[in-house]
Amino acid sequence: MHLEIEIVGNIGSDAVLKETNGRKVLNFSVAHSERFKKQDGTITETTTWLNCSYWDAEKVAPYLKKGTTILVKGKPSVNVYQNKQGHHVADLRCQVSVLRLLSGKKEESAPGTNTAATTPPNGSVHTAAALSAENLQNTFGDQPNLADDLLF
């Protein structure tokens, strides 16, 4: 049995590229927030953080900036450890196999304008296999905007 998760959220901080045993890995976190109404009528928001590792995908590092909305799919894992205060903490992780850029971080701009900072067109799909130098241009080329089809 192969377990895979899919989550849509915003990148918490710029992706960090590291090298481990001769391979490059991008590490970043994704925040997924949900709002719901309690029985008493108050609206509550919960946020779940997912720490992600994306191997051999260094070419997308410039696009994984804080605030970018993405969809990630991959193999989940949970690491439970004891923090400095002595509390047990669960670290939810994902080894990413597919990443879809849904939006870029919005730059400060004049009212009424909508600009994205250094991001490829919405809906770009990235897998480790798709990131070869030969087809990188095709990966970032014109693709339909699938973000409008996702329910948040």
| Mean pLDDT, the chain, whole residue set | 77
Q: What local confidence, expressed as pLDDT, does residue 126 receive?
A: 55
pTM: 0.66
Tokens (6 digits) for 141 = 């080329």
pLDDT for residue 14 is more than 50 = yes
For the chain, give the percent of residues with pLDDT over 90.
Answer: 58
pLDDT for residue 22 is more than 80 = yes
Please state which architecture CATH assigns to domain 5-140: Beta Barrel (2.40)
CB 123 within 8 A of CB 104: no
pLDDT for residue 40 is more than 60 = yes
Sequence ranges of the domains in the chain = 5-140
User: Any bridge partners for residue 43, and if so which?
Assistant: 37
The predicted-structure confidence for 49-94, as pLDDT tens digits, reads as follows: 999 999 988 899 999 999 999 999 999 999 899 999 999 988 899 9
DSSP the chain: ----EEEEEEESS--EEEEETTEEEEEEEEEEEEEEE-TTS-EEEEEEEEEEEEET-GGGGGG--TT-EEEEEEEEEEEEEE-TTS-EEEEEEEEEEEEEE--PPBPP--TT---BSS-PPTTEEEEGGGGSGGGHHHHHS----GGGG---
